[in-house]
Amino acid sequence: MQDKGIQRVEAVSEAGIQLDRLDWKRENPAIAVQIHVFFTEVIGELLEAVNAIPYAYDCYISTDTAEKKKRIEEEFVPHCTAGQIRIEIFPNRGRDVAPFLMQMKDVINDYKYIAHLHTKKSETVDFGDQWRRFLYENVCGGRAYLLALFERMEREDKLGLIIPPFYPVIEKGAKWAGTKSEIELILKRVGGNVLLPKEPVFPAGTMFWAKTAAVRPLFELGYTQEDFPDEAGQVNDTLAHVIERIWVYLAEGQGYTYRICRNAIEEKKEEEACEAPQSRIMLYAHYDREDRVSDLDLESLKAMRSDVDELVFISNSRLTEKEKKKVAGVSDRVWLRENKGYDFGAWKYGMERLGFDYLAEFGQVILMNNSSVGPIYGLKMVFDRMRREQKDFWGITLYPYCADGSFINEPYIPEHIQSYFVVFNQNVVQSEVFRNFWKEYRPSDDFTETVARGETKLTPMLVQGGFTYGAYLPESRDLVQWFQTGQPQNELAYQYAVLGSPFLKKKAVYFLTIENRKKLLSYLEQLPVPECYAEFFSQIPEGAEGGSNTEKKPGLMLRGARLFRREGIRGVSRKLYHKTYQKLRGPQPQPEKSKLIEYYTFATNRTPIPLNREEYETHREDSVKILNWIIPDMGEGSGGHINMFRFISRLEDMGFHSRLYLFQSLLYQDDAHIRGFLAEKFPMLDSRVEVYQDVSSMGFAHGTIATFWQTAYYLRRFENTLSKFYFIQDYEPAFYAPGSDYELADATYRFGFRGITAGDWLKELMTEKYGMQADSFGFSYDRDTYVRKEKKSLKKRVFFYARPVTPRRDFEIGFLALQELCSRRKDVEIIFAGWDVSDYVIPFPHKNLGILPVSRLSEVYADCELCLVLSHTNLSLLPLEIMASGSVAVCSKGRNSSWLVNETNAVLVEYSVKDIADKLEYYLTHERELEEIRERGIAFAQSTSWDKEAEKVRDALLKGITEDEEK
């Protein structure tokens, strides 16, 4: 089988297509569409898809309940253009695949073409809606697209199957997933002699068009509903997953070929025809290390010219008159400036020279730089869609919130629009917040500072001003998270092209794999783009895969591994970026010196914040005690914050009132911003709790509580309180290698605060090593999320909480122990979760689940005999959550663990490859003993209570405040 790449389907002349034979009499059409409706809320999208079919067709619909059938009859049938519509109810088995086979097996011979659609709304991922729309667009994406598809299938006799591309976010995980051997058996049954490739090609999501002759044998195998398991959220290993991957090879076994087709046709909407186009001005920031205007840049300017009314070309290079003349014909103004401040410096220069009032006369202001190739297609469809979405400002791609901000020397990276192409509507440009940002912005020759103070700050600042934002490719957020890359557009250029990105980053030429380079070039060949675009991506620079210097050197790999362990994915990405930058643009400008003193001001500032006597007297006799909580920034799902918020909420009913103050927040611009975020992402936080974006407004409280080592430095100088507490959930010096941050964190335990610790190990450590007065609380679990479940799989499975980027989670020891176990027991499958481990060679049976949504964890735990959770610092909630789900926790021995787990409710292991492998093997063999531990673990978990633990926190606070008030 030869992968022909993605075919970009353009419109064809409808008058030139002789397909009258497809419009047979309405009572006998040539086309059947089968739809499985499980989620009735997307019926409207389905109608838009099938009503685009330009020929006579019959519609077969399956669903699983009478209620859904009634809704389909009321909302779908009256509006559908199909000739015949048949609705049948089937059991909820085999996903959409079983109903497809069952409903069509007796009628498939009546048709020449068949399509399969369903109401995909995946609950195992958080991008299910985008994935469904992507599939609809590339299977039934408009009348013009379908005319072109049918024209191709009628013209090519042996073209038997048309499938959409892999949705880029899931492409990395689109593997055989244990289905290959079963597919080979089925192909033998239908007489298909096909050699299956190493990596599969299939319609992921099971939506496609086919000639019935190409797929008929599968319907004739006689599958029944009972051959498919009941639906229980299975991710893989079912007959439905097998059949999802068989279609291409089924067709090839019958002598047919397939095509992967992407919809590249712009559908005109009548309601848009009368809308007047917006006037636009573009500020194009240019830089070239050789002081020239490249063919790529000139073609970009020519392509953009038709979309803007005025184009201002601003170069940070020393262009000659000859180079300036190149752009004079396509630009209204050509300005040269000193090479200072990168693109943001150029844009600021242009705005100040033009004047903000002049810019505000345009309907839209566009900022663009020359870091990309393109647009590779006309941008009218981009502007039209974003106008319909009614966002105040937007770009092509989003970079998501990232808790690790080391790439820009900051604690966090806020979600933001990537700045290579950004559009601002007139209301934004007229605003004070927009103008003030640019007036106050100070250009810098430090690249990371430009990103930190420019690109990453502009979006949140405008959001603070009340403006809305969006991206033409909202999936870009998912690509960053699912592929675990800090440079998605460089490393995933082909995936971005498939999604429909009009721009491709120039730096991608260094990152493209050989396979993706071929696919991208095949894709570009189908576009009416300048030859220089394809020529550029055809080059294979030194150091790129397939280039002249790509031999893997062990020393280099070892250094890369060390960098990854030391600085994580951001460290590796940062190093790769700077090396690539030098190749593209030469040596970077001399960076500004590190502002170390400014960064560590929180630790060196000893200026006291005195007690406010008036506030103290006002609240002295209050029966409800006020608490100030100083908390660090947080992202969605932050476990430490969730724990803290559980207690804070319960304290509202225990005689306390809490106020939360963010410390040195980079993510949230004002009180309304952080309050809205907490209300949406942390619903467990009681609405009575006050929340503030900064500590500057913090007033008197009976007790003030530090919650992270950096916040302890602020509390050290805050005297406007009776008592000072330290809410300690882990031993934070261990987050760092021995050095400055280790010592600064360690020092905070000697500040004289009263400790409230998560568990007795931290309590003992604080009292014995640091002389701190300390009380402790224990853990419980969320009873709505973690419920005992029965194991479904017959396979022996061991779960491993894998965090290679967190050294204190002992990934390497655990990994080696599992290798040893699997060398002894060939029947064991390992389940990895907590991080994507696809970059590791794993020579034993396994599943890589990556970072899972909380809603799936309990089911995953329950389907494993044992769950390995190692930790060199304090335990998390995982052991209790594992017990509550009906599995057995395997934890490392030590005082950091024994306060919660012991040999009656868990399996305890040494930090030893052999001991871990021995214990896992023993309990997999001695099932009765394992079952006894399981039952004791479940009982122990159920005996815990967050309410009881909250009472301990309450008592510790009252004791401290009372004692300090008496002093």
Q: Give the pLDDT mean for 694-708.
A: 96
Q: Give the pLDDT mean for 248-253.
A: 93
Runs of H (alpha helix) within 886-967:
895-898, 913-925, 927-943, 946-966
Question: Which has the closest alpha carbon to 458: 575, 601, 343?
Answer: 343
Question: Which has the closest alpha carbon to 72: 59, 61, 56?
Answer: 61
3-class DSSP state for residue 475? coil
Distance CA 953, CA 947 (A): 10
Query: Phi first, then psi: what are they for 849, rounded to 5°?
Result: -90, -10
Helix axes 878-885, 854-862, angle to 10 degrees: 60
pLDDT of residue 288: 93
Q: Give the pLDDT mean for 673-699.
A: 90
- CA 15 to the chain's CA centroid: 44
Q: Is the peptide bond before 488 cis (omega within 30 degrees of 0)?
A: no
Q: What is the pLDDT of residues 735-756, one digit of tens each?
A: 888 899 999 999 999 999 999 9
Question: Which has the closest alpha carbon to 200: 233, 174, 236, 162?
Answer: 174
pLDDT of residue 869: 97
Q: Give the pLDDT mean for 255-265.
A: 82
Q: 17 pLDDT band (50/70/90 cuts)?
A: very low
Distance CA 59, CA 80 (A): 9
User: Highest mean pLDDT range out of 125-139, 401-415, 504-518?
Assistant: 504-518
Per-residue tokens: 487? 């440079």
**Res 12 pLDDT > 90:** no
Q: Give the pLDDT mean for 915-919.
A: 97
Q: 591 pLDDT band (50/70/90 cuts)?
A: very low
| Local structure of residue 963 (DSSP, 8 states) | H
For residue 438, the surrounding DSSP H or E stretch is helix 432-440
- CA 44 to the chain's CA centroid: 27
Q: Give the pLDDT mean for 611-624.
A: 92
Q: 1 pLDDT band (50/70/90 cuts)?
A: very low
Q: Long-range contacts for 710-714 (Cβ within 8 Å, ≥24 apart)? A: 710/602, 710/603, 710/632, 710/663, 710/664, 711/630, 711/631, 711/632, 711/663, 712/748, 712/751, 712/753, 713/602, 713/603, 713/605, 713/748, 714/602, 714/630, 714/663
Residue 807: which residues within 8 A CB-CB, separation 6 or more? 565, 872
pLDDT of residue 43: 92
User: Highest mean pLDDT range out of 458-462, 531-535, 573-577, 593-597?
Assistant: 458-462
Q: What is the pLDDT of residues 938-967, one digit of tens each?
A: 999 999 999 999 999 999 999 999 999 887
Q: Give the pLDDT mean for 416-433.
A: 94
Q: Give the pLDDT mean for 255-268.
A: 74
Q: Give the pLDDT mean for 386-400.
A: 89
pLDDT of residue 819: 96
Distance CA 581, CA 512 (A): 16
pLDDT of residue 7: 60
pLDDT of residue 29: 75
**Res 575 pLDDT > 70:** no
**Res 16 pLDDT > 70:** no
| Local structure of residue 739 (DSSP, 8 states) | S
Higher pLDDT, 568 or 455: 455
Mean pLDDT of the chain: 85
Question: Strand pairing partners for 662?
Answer: 631
Q: Give the pLDDT mean for 503-507.
A: 88
Neighbours of 614 (CB within 10 A): 9
Q: What is the pLDDT of residues 854-896, one digit of tens each?
A: 888 999 999 999 999 999 999 999 999 999 999 999 999 999 9
Higher pLDDT, 421 or 5: 421
Rg (CA), the chain: 31
pLDDT of residue 489: 54
**Res 644 pLDDT > 60:** yes
Residue 499: which residues within 8 A CB-CB, separation 6 or more? 134, 168, 473, 475, 476
pLDDT of residue 544: 56
pLDDT of residue 449: 82
Q: 320 pLDDT band (50/70/90 cuts)?
A: very high
Per-residue tokens: 456? 């990453």
- Which regions of 379-444 does DSSP assign to beta strands (E)? 393-399, 416-417, 421-425
Per-residue tokens: 14? 């409808």
Question: Which has the closest alpha carbon to 398: 342, 471, 456, 337?
Answer: 471
Q: Rounded to 5 degrees, what angle do the CA atoms 745, 749, 752 make? A: 140
Per-residue tokens: 346? 């150029």
Higher pLDDT, 830 or 555: 830
Question: Strand pairing partners for 869?
Answer: 891
Neighbours of 883 (CB within 10 A): 30
Percent of the chain with pLDDT over 70: 85
Task: Report all structural domains of the chain as residue ranges with CATH numbers, in order of start.
Answer: 6-263 (3.90.550.10), 277-474 (3.90.550.10), 601-777 (3.40.50.11090), 796-944 (3.40.50.2000)
For residue 115, the surrounding DSSP H or E stretch is strand 113-118
**Res 269 pLDDT > 80:** no
Residues 382 and 472 sit within 8 Å (Cβ to Cβ) = yes
Which stretch of 48-57, 499-508, 915-924 has the lowest confidence by average pLDDT?
499-508
pLDDT of residue 563: 41
Q: Give the pLDDT mean for 20-40.
A: 73
3-state helix, strand, coil in the chain (%, to 5): 45, 15, 40
**Res 399 pLDDT > 70:** yes
Q: 829 pLDDT band (50/70/90 cuts)?
A: very high
Which stretch of 278-282, 674-678, 862-866 has the lowest confidence by average pLDDT?
674-678
Q: What is the pLDDT of residues 702-723, one digit of tens each?
A: 999 999 999 999 999 999 999 9
pLDDT of residue 28: 58
**Res 579 pLDDT > 50:** no
Question: Strand pairing partners for 723?
Answer: 703
CA distances from 901 to 343, 727, 895, 898 (A): 55, 22, 10, 5
Strand 701-706 to strand 774-777: parallel, antiparallel, or no bridges (unpaired)?
unpaired
pTM of the model: 0.49
How many CA atoms lie less than 13 Å away from 321 in the CB half-sphere?
A: 0
Distance CA 281, CA 311 (A): 6
Q: 546 pLDDT band (50/70/90 cuts)?
A: low
Higher pLDDT, 899 or 672: 899
Q: Give the pLDDT mean for 692-702.
A: 94
Higher pLDDT, 501 or 494: 501
**Res 183 pLDDT > 80:** yes
**HEC states along 841-901?**
CCCCCEEECCCCCHHHHHHHHHCCCEEEECCCCCCCCHHHHHHHHCCEEEEECCHHHHCCC
Per-residue tokens: 56? 């006579």
**Res 915 pLDDT > 80:** yes
**Res 353 pLDDT > 90:** yes
**Res 571 pLDDT > 50:** no
3-class DSSP state for residue 347? helix
Which stretch of 90-104, 315-329, 588-602 has the lowest confidence by average pLDDT?
588-602
Q: What is the pLDDT of residues 754-794, one digit of tens each?
A: 999 999 999 999 999 999 999 999 999 999 999 998 888 78
Higher pLDDT, 532 or 880: 880
Q: Give the pLDDT mean for 288-308.
A: 92
Distance CA 343, CA 419 (A): 9
pLDDT of residue 545: 56
Question: Which has the closest alpha carbon to 583: 491, 488, 509?
Answer: 509
